Amino acid sequence: MGAGSLFTDDANPGAPYWWEAVDWPTLDAPPPGKVDLLVIGAGYTGLSAAIAAHDAGAKVAVLDAGIAGQGASSRNGGMVGPHPKLSWEALAKDFGDDTADEIFKESGEALFWVRDLIAHEGIDCDFQTTGRIQLAYTSNHFEAQKALAAKVGEKSAVDCRILEKDELKSEIVTPMYKGGMVFSEHGALHPAKYHRGLLEAVLRRSIPVSAPCAAEDVTRLSGSHRIRTPKGEVRADKVVLATNGYTTRPFSWFMARVFPVPSFLIATEPLSPNLIGEIAPGCRMMVETRARRSYFRISPDGSRIIFGGRAALVDIAPARAARWLRDTMCQIWPTLEGTRLSHVWSGYTGFSFGQMPVVGERNGLHYALGYSGSGTVMAPYLGAKAAWQSLGLSKGDTAFSRTRLDRRWYHRGSAPHFLKAGDLWYRHWVDRRENLAARR
Ligand SMILES: Cc1cc2nc3c(=O)[nH]c(=O)nc-3n(C[C@H](O)[C@H](O)[C@H](O)COP(=O)(O)OP(=O)(O)OC[C@H]3O[C@@H](n4cnc5c(N)ncnc54)[C@H](O)[C@@H]3O)c2cc1C
């Protein structure tokens, strides 16, 4: 198919599908001169931190360098599930058995915490408990899933079960996968409406949000901080940094430890409900185990497939990403060959080298960062933890303060050039090796 027929006539490559459902309020007032706690970043992490601190009695303000919400929090796939990226064994090796146990347990609890937050704040974000299925690309991946399912059952109250290959057809109609693992409590939401609901909860509390208004410099004084912005200075006793994959200078220490990995998504043109029902009868959130990291779902109105993945580890043109993702989608469902795309967009996920989020404090700056692609639950949950920790409250305790923000010799903290090498390595080695393994 030629490039001309890749997109629908009214497609606007680069603009997220989700943005069609929201508008962006004007928030251009300067920040207040003095607060108890200043939150830097107005995505899920920052907004949740602001709500938690305000409700604990603090005078709070929020800044964002861009339009509040136009970071990852309105660009993501809207898949709701907190399970740790690492196996229990990998966590135990790095942090000890007790911390691994607590991370498993707390991840399960975080999901319910976020569901309560959505209900309590009355956030209309098309939330549905759809369940999520992880699809095994190779037999080895399927064996690893079986071990993980056993560990999840042993270490948490999370409901998780294995599906053999012949059981998969009630979930997804494709010969691609060797089996799967279902997390029935996981869900789906509309990410931009979710962000909007959190922002409304902040504004309802009369918490000032200034955007665009970047924190250009933070100076630690005795007992407080001075934050320079283009719209004036703020004095704050406490500061919470909530910039994740969009962290820039002056936060160089964090840039060296949390790096931006682009993730790309497409939306198909509207499809017939019959076709969607035939190819994805389970209506779950779907993720693959292969290194392409494809993740896909049906749009909240049931009309389209939203399909994401690792089109590249570096920024590439939207049309190139769109072609790559559509080809991957058509490998899974050849019947979609010829389907045009209404949207393609990307955003930056904030990865830590340990692939785990971290809540902590450095030089008086509290932070929650490094969700490594899994933030619809963990970002608001850990944003609240960071805020409570900054206020010295024991409800800020979390096992995610025992994970670490490490650095590596090959990343100096400016642009993550090592991802260019990673991109080639994945394309020419990992993907090929996995494709060979999948044929066995
Ligand atoms: C394409 C994509 C798909 C994803 N899919 C999923 C998914 O399906 N499920 C899931 O759980 N997670 C997913 N994620 C991850 C999830 O979106 C993120 O983990 C989450 O949104 C992080 O929220 P945040 O508030 O920490 O960061 P962001 O929402 O990225 O917000 C950070 C904010 O900080 C601001 N900022 C930066 N520097 C400054 C400064 N100096 N001063 C003031 N403000 C500043 C930025 O402007 C930005 O608005 C996905 C991410 C992407 C990009």
Which residue has the CA at smallest separation from atom 4 of ligand 1? 76
pLDDT of res. 292: 80
CA of 272 to the centre of ligand 1 (A): 32
Q: Which domains does the chain have, with CATH numbers?
A: 3-421 (3.50.50.60)
Per-residue burial over 3-38, b if 16 or more Cβ lie within 10 Å, else e, is eeebbbeebbbeebbbbebbeeeebeeebbeebbbb
Sign of CA dihedral 343, 344, 349, 355: positive
- Write the pLDDT tens digit of every residue in 164-183: 999 999 999 999 999 999 99
Q: Which helix (H) or strand (E) holds 106?
A: helix 97-120
Where are the extended beta strands (E) located within 230-323? 232-241, 258-268, 285-288, 295-298, 305-309
Q: Tell me, using a 6 A CB cutoff, whether residue 78 lines ligand 1.
A: yes
CA of 273 to the centre of ligand 1 (A): 32
Q: In angstroms, rounded to a whole number, what is the distance separating the alpha carbons of residues 191 and 47?
A: 14
pLDDT of res. 300: 97
pTM metric for this prediction: 0.96
Q: Tell me, using a 6 A CB cutoff, whether residue 242 lines ligand 1.
A: yes
Q: How many H-runs (helices) and E-runs (strands) does the chain carry? A: 11, 18
CA of 349 to the centre of ligand 1 (A): 6
| Ligand 1 atom, smallest distance to 43 CA | 25
pLDDT of res. 85: 72
CA of 360 to the centre of ligand 1 (A): 18
Q: Tell me, using a 6 A CB cutoff, whether residue 311 lines ligand 1.
A: no
3-state percent helix, strand, coil for the chain, nearest multiple of 5? 40, 25, 40
pLDDT of res. 1: 46
CA of 230 to the centre of ligand 1 (A): 22
Describe the crossing of helices 139-155 and 88-95 by its angle, rounded to 10 degrees: 70
Q: Tell me, using a 6 A CB cutoff, whether residue 16 lines ligand 1.
A: no
pLDDT of res. 428: 84
Where are the extended beta strands (E) located within 64-194? 79-80, 132-136, 160-164, 179-183, 187-188
CA of 330 to the centre of ligand 1 (A): 29
Regions of the chain short of the pLDDT cut 70: 1-4, 83-84
- Write the pLDDT tens digit of every residue in 204-214: 999 999 999 99
Q: Tell me, using a 6 A CB cutoff, whether residue 254 lines ligand 1.
A: no
pLDDT of res. 84: 66
Question: Which are the contacts of 38, defined by CB distance < 8 A and separation ≥ 6?
Answer: 31, 60, 61, 62, 63, 215, 225, 227, 234, 236, 238, 239, 240
Q: Tell me, using a 6 A CB cutoff, whether residue 225 lines ligand 1.
A: no
Q: Tell me, using a 6 A CB cutoff, whether residue 44 lines ligand 1.
A: yes
Pocket test for ligand 1, best of 113, 210, 243, 264 (most atoms within 8 A of CB): 243
Pocket test for ligand 1, best of 62, 73, 234 (most atoms within 8 A of CB): 73
pLDDT of res. 438: 86
CA of 245 to the centre of ligand 1 (A): 6
Which residue has the CA at smallest separation from atom 48 of ligand 1? 71
CA of 72 to the centre of ligand 1 (A): 3
